[in-house]
Amino acid sequence: MKKHALSTRLWHWINAGAIIVLFMSGLNISNAHPYLYWGDYGFAPGDAWLKVVKFPGWATIPGHYNLAAARDWHILAAWPFGLGLAFIWAAMLANRHFRRDLATRPSDWTPAALRASLQAHRAGGHAAGAGYNPVQKILYGLVLGVLLPLMLLTGLAISPGFEPVAPWLVDLLGGRQSARSLHFLTAWAIFGFFVIHILLALANGRLILEMVTGGRRAAA
């Protein structure tokens, strides 16, 4: 039995590409007005809670400041991101991947379980085909269940074309500028996970190979 189903592998690589395009085009969009606010309105820099740095061309899509082109790239990547998120949740529930591998138990949240997971990583990870440890379950659950959905919802809330359709979503998030701030913070939280995920994968090349071939699940 494969450790990673085909649906998981396809979503993993498509989603990775979509997130890279979304993040880099989002940095270009941020350069248009590098100030963040809370509430419904915010225009004056003096009212901002954060002044964002200007991001260099090598970190943005396109590689020079172009708000219109950056928005086009952002919207283009948002489609596979949003549809892919709905797809992977449907697949995980249908094939019981979430319940079997990612759902946590109270024992997974104990200090002893978390400490053992971190010690296992420092000792060289887990054996081929082994399941997810408590730290992995918590992190993947946080990303799949909180960060990615929040990224999608805040993105919809600050989209001028979507706001008139669902004004309740903007109100739920505390106003359009609050949604924009949450969108920015969530993007960087996902980036942080992305970096850690890549470093751990590079430290153990088998993990990358398993996400391509599917690997083999350890016998129960």
Q: Which domain holds residue 136?
A: 6-213
Sequence-ordered list of residues with C-beta below 8 angstroms from that of 178, at least 6 positions apart, any chain: 37, 38, 39, 40
Number of domains in the chain: 1
218 within a domain of the structure (yes/no): no
65 within a domain of the structure (yes/no): yes
- For every one of its 220 residues, what pLDDT tens digit does the chain have, with 9 covering 90 and above? 778 889 999 999 999 999 999 999 999 999 999 999 999 999 899 999 999 999 999 999 999 999 999 999 999 999 999 999 999 999 999 999 899 889 999 999 999 998 988 887 666 555 445 578 898 899 999 999 999 999 999 999 999 888 888 899 999 999 999 999 999 999 999 999 999 889 878 877 787 888 888 887 765 5
CATH number for the domain including 107? 1.20.950.20
146 within a domain of the structure (yes/no): yes
219 within a domain of the structure (yes/no): no
Q: Which of 2, 19, 6, 5 is closest to 197 using CA atoms? A: 19
27 within a domain of the structure (yes/no): yes
How far apart are the C-alpha atoms of 114 and 125, rounded to whole Å? 14
58 within a domain of the structure (yes/no): yes
Asked whether 201 and 4 are in contact (CB, 8 A), the reply is no
119 within a domain of the structure (yes/no): yes
**Residue 79: C-alpha distances to residues 15, 73, 96 (Å):** 10, 11, 25
126 within a domain of the structure (yes/no): yes
The model scores a pTM over 0.75: yes
